[in-house]
Amino acid sequence: MLQFSCFCFLVIFFVHTVHADDDKFLTEPPDYITECQIADKNFINCSTQSIQQLFDKLNDGIPGLNSIKSFDPFYLNRIRITQGNSNAINLKVELGNVKINGFGHTNVLESIVYPKDFSWKTTFMLPEMKLQGDYSLFGRILLIPLNGHGQVFLDAENMTVIMHSKTRLYEKGGFTFYNVTDCQVDFKIDGLKSYFSNLFNGNKQLEDSTNKFFNDNWRMLAEALYTVITQTIEDILLDVLKKIFHYIPANFFIGDIPTSKQLYGGGSKGAASEAKRPK
Ligand SMILES: *[C@@H]1O[C@H](CO)[C@@H](O)[C@H](O)[C@H]1NC(C)=O
Ligand SMILES: *[C@@H]1O[C@H](CO)[C@@H](O)[C@H](O)[C@H]1NC(C)=O
Ligand SMILES: *[C@@H]1O[C@H](CO)[C@@H](O)[C@H](O)[C@H]1NC(C)=O
């Protein structure tokens, strides 16, 4: 009986693997990526241009990579954030059915790759980022006690994002790939328009005056919502970057990237599937 159920489990797992999209990857360099050499003095310029081309391509969809359904607009089911603000009062925010417009117009300002561990520092600018969705929040923003739920609209202007990504190299099919394991962002903006519907359970006058107050004090609002905004962006970017870099070999971005074995040493875990690199 026990053996029988184990067998079933294995069959189901096998079928799932065969159908999974995640296992497909490119074996020929696509024309929308410029290959750079990390040993080259001009690497940062080259890499910046290459990552810009990748972002541009994401807009129409990377051919063969069906797991990223849409980049602009980008849809998030749900995000739940608890943050302590400057007054050490917790703000609990939950967003649902989130739609974000603007990633399609990303300007990549600088793409640095550190040869020591192949982590990245990427700076980019979104001229406009618009978020809309359902919110529920509990806590205080700018000293105003809030406990409501409704619709939220945020419109950030000239959002400059500095992204720090951690990666772990691994080998697949004779290529070296990035496993993007972490993504942390900082941002600054030139403006933030916001609107929260139903902030006070139908008290329209209080809702209007609070929304006006938030818009008049958008810098303070941006600061109060800092964690909410960074975590939303981090969730999106980590998801998208993981999918892209499990699909496109790192060799197509950096011609002289070491293998995981060369970088971490022969005894490291994950070197088991080391395959011979094609000429
Ligand atoms: C990189 O590009 C910038 C402008 O795009 C240029 O000013 C700079 O000289 C370039 N750096 C190198 C090393 O080519
Ligand atoms: C990527 O890293 C995660 C841990 O962050 C790990 O669970 C996963 O197995 C790794 N994937 C590959 C292909 O190495
Ligand atoms: C956003 O950046 C553009 C181009 O640099 C500039 O013209 C515009 O004034 C900026 N917007 C704000 C609100 O500062």
Q: What is the CATH number of the domain that holds 189?
A: 3.15.10.30
Segments forming the whole domain that contains residue 89: 29-264
Query: So what's the pLDDT on residue 16?
Result: 38
> Is 15 strand, coil or helix?
helix
Distance in Å, CA 193 to ligand 1 centroid: 35
Q: Ligand 2: does its nearest atom lie under 6 Å from the Cβ of 179?
A: yes
Q: What is the residue-level pLDDT of the chain in tens, covering all 279 positions?
A: 344 443 434 333 433 333 445 578 999 999 999 999 999 999 999 999 999 999 999 988 999 998 998 899 999 888 887 776 555 457 888 999 999 999 999 999 999 999 999 999 999 999 999 999 999 988 888 888 888 899 999 999 999 999 999 999 999 999 999 999 999 999 999 999 999 999 988 899 999 999 999 999 999 989 888 888 898 899 899 999 999 999 999 999 999 999 999 999 965 454 444 444 444
Q: Is 8 part of any domain?
A: no
Whether residue 31 contacts residue 53, with contact meaning beta carbons closer than 8 Å, is answered with no
Q: Which atom of ligand 2 is nearest to the CA of 170?
A: 14
Q: Which atom of ligand 2 is nearest to the CA of 246?
A: 13
Distance in Å, CA 47 to ligand 1 centroid: 12
**Separation CA 238–CA 180 (nearest Å):** 7
- Which residue has the least CA distance to atom 5 on ligand 1? 45
Query: So what's the pLDDT on residue 86?
Result: 57
Q: Ligand 3: does its nearest atom lie under 6 Å from the Cβ of 86?
A: no
**Tokens matching residue 259:** 């293998």
Q: Is 6 part of any domain?
A: no
- Which residue has the least CA distance to atom 9 on ligand 2? 179
Q: Is 214 part of any domain?
A: yes
Q: Is 84 part of any domain?
A: yes
Distance in Å, CA 166 to ligand 2 centroid: 12
Q: Is 227 part of any domain?
A: yes
**Separation CA 61–CA 64 (nearest Å):** 9
Q: Which atom of ligand 1 is nearest to the CA of 41?
A: 13
Q: Is 194 part of any domain?
A: yes
Closest CA relative to residue 25, chosen from 180, 248, 276? 248
Q: Is 7 part of any domain?
A: no
Q: Ligand 3: does its nearest atom lie under 6 Å from the Cβ of 255?
A: no
Q: Is 3 part of any domain?
A: no
Q: What total number of domains does the chain contain?
A: 1
Query: So what's the pLDDT on residue 105?
Result: 95
Ligand nearest to the CA of 190: 3
> Residue 230: enclosing H or E segment and its boundaries?
helix 226-247
